[in-house]
């Protein structure tokens, strides 16, 4: 829901916001609940969806929209078509959320990317990768971090949070907060917990599978928990819109993906003064190098995670500059960067 959250922040700064959503999607419902203007569409084809682009363009023109921000890679083709059909009067801004691993220099991709007014990366390594893997114009690529509204962090103590969630005070609790997805490598944390073989070490998993997913990953995780006899140590909490109590309750967050593009959960954990155990790659590497509070481990190796989890008492924020961290990720600063670098305007509040 990063898209919705950013839309609401921009609305609070005085911008008129319209959300383009797939019909009956969770985003459509959330946008309507937030009383935003919504354009509801059927899910368009991944490529060359000119009819969908034309219909969206007509709705955007009626609302006087001049800028369209997209976050899903699969929407780049649709966005480029809208730019083409509008003779670039609608500016398309792509906020990259998933890093690609292969070169994207085919002629048709180069043409498609040429219709993007800006390509926004959350971290420097992402910008470097985009510039080396595509032919996009360097002046159109910039770095704007994802933001946090620090006023939304609830003032819980660990004791209060654990009482609310019915978690034992004496346990050492690790958390994985976010979508339950095979790429998140949740099984590594479960296997690491099995290696530690300590009844006071617990793992809580907060999140749910992608709606309508046919993947059996959750069932596989549950079978692994049974196999390793960890039923009393691994707990699923499902989806929660408000995750602050969970961050306050854990001793450390685990990010086990082989490569995390950015890692909103990482900065949310750091904002709650909780260390992060993450793979030494991608967004996790850049974030924990810049704001050191946690341990970077080799990807894909349960014993590496187990070793880090066993060092929980050593994870102290000696070199973690909390004030610099908050300044960097402050949502108002992020909105100002979008206004000045992308929209070439100021807040209209």
Q: What is the pLDDT of residues 38-70, one digit of tens each?
A: 999 988 877 788 999 999 999 999 999 999 999
pLDDT for residue 348 is more than 60: no
Structure confidence at residue 313 (pLDDT): 81
What pTM value is reported for the model?
A: 0.91
Residue 59: C-alpha distances to residues 28, 41, 54 (Å): 16, 11, 9
Structure confidence at residue 260 (pLDDT): 93
In this prediction, residues 125-152 reach a mean pLDDT of 95
Structure tokens at 84: 């083409």
- How many Å apart are CA 267 and CA 276, to the nearest integer? 9
In this prediction, residues 177-186 reach a mean pLDDT of 94
SS (HEC) of 125-180: HHHHHHHHHCCCCHHHEEECCCCECHHHCCCCCHHHHHHHHCCCCCCEEEEEECCE
Percent of the chain with pLDDT over 90: 84
pLDDT in tens, 242-257: 899 999 999 999 999 9
- How many Å apart are CA 231 and CA 245, to the nearest integer? 22
pLDDT for residue 172 is more than 90: yes
Structure tokens at 338: 């979008």
In degrees, to the nearest 5, what angle opens at C-alpha 258 toward C-alphas 212 and 192?
A: 95
Structure confidence at residue 77 (pLDDT): 94
In this prediction, residues 121-130 reach a mean pLDDT of 96
Percent of the chain with pLDDT over 70: 98
Task: Give CA torsion, residues 280, 157, 170, 292, to 10 deg.
Answer: 20
Structure confidence at residue 345 (pLDDT): 59
Residues of the chain with CATH 3.40.50.2000: 2-147+330-342, 150-328
Q: What is the mean pLDDT of the chain?
A: 93
In this prediction, residues 336-345 reach a mean pLDDT of 88
CB atoms < 10 A from the CB of 64, how many?
8
pLDDT in tens, 204-221: 999 988 776 778 999 999
In this prediction, residues 82-104 reach a mean pLDDT of 94
If one compares 344 and 206, the residue with the highest pLDDT of the two is 206
Highest average pLDDT, of 19-33, 114-128, 303-317, comes from 114-128
The superfamily CATH assigns to domain 2-147+330-342 is: Glycogen Phosphorylase B; (3.40.50.2000)
Is the Cβ–Cβ distance between 143 and 119 less than 8 Å?
no
Is the Cβ–Cβ distance between 136 and 113 less than 8 Å?
yes
- Model confidence at 187, pLDDT cuts 50, 70, 90, reads very high
pLDDT for residue 194 is more than 60: yes
In this prediction, residues 255-279 reach a mean pLDDT of 95
Instruction: Report, at the CATH architecture level, how domain 150-328 is classified.
Output: 3-Layer(aba) Sandwich (3.40)
In degrees, to the nearest 5, what angle opens at C-alpha 247 toward C-alphas 246 and 253?
A: 115
In this prediction, residues 294-318 reach a mean pLDDT of 92
Q: What is the CA radius of gyration of the chain?
A: 21
How far is Cα of residue 122 from the mean position of the Cα atoms in its chain?
A: 10
Is the Cβ–Cβ distance between 279 and 258 less than 8 Å?
yes
């Amino acid at each position: 829901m990063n898209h919705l959250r950013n839309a609401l922040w921009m609305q609070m700064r005085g911008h008129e916001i319209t959300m383009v959503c797939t019909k009956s999607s969770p985003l459509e419902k959330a946008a309507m609940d937030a009383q935003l203007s919504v354009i509801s569409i059927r899910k368009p084809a991944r490529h060359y969806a000119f009819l969908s682009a034309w219909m969206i363009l007509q709705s955007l023109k009626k609302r006087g929209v001049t800028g369209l921000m997209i976050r899903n890679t699969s929407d780049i083709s649709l966005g480029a078509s809208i730019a083409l059909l509008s003779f670039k009067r609608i500016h398309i801004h792509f906020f990259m959320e998933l890093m690609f691993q292969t070169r994207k220099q085919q002629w048709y991709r180069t043409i498609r990317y040429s219709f993007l007014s800006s390509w926004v990366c959350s971290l420097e390594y992402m910008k470097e990768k985009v510039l080396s893997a595509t032919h996009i114009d360097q002046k159109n690529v910039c770095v704007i971090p994802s933001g946090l509204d620090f006023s939304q962090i609830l003032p819980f103590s660990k004791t209060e949070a654990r009482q609310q969630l019915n978690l034992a005070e004496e346990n050492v609790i690790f958390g994985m907060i976010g979508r339950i997805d095979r790429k998140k490598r949740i099984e590594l944390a479960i296997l690491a917990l099995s290696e530690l073989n300590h009844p006071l070490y617990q793992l809580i998993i907060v999140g749910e599978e992608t709606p309508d997913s046919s993947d059996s990953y959750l069932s596989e995780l549950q079978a692994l928990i049974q196999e390793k006899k960890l039923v009393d140590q691994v707990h699923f909490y499902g989806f929660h819109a408000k995750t602050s109590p969970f961050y306050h309750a854990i001793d450390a967050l685990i990010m086990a993906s082989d490569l995390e593009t950015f890692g909103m959960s990482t900065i949310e954990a750091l904002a709650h003064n909780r260390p992060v155990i993450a793979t030494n790659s991608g967004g996790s590497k850049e974030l924990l190098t810049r704001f050191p509070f946690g341990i970077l481990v080799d990807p894909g190796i349960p014993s590496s995670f187990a070793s880090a989890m066993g060092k929980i008492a050593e994870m102290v924020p000696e070199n973690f500059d909390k004030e610099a961290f908050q300044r960097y990720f402050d949502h108002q600063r992020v909105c100002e960067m979008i206004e000045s670098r992308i929209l070439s305007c100021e807040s209209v509040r």
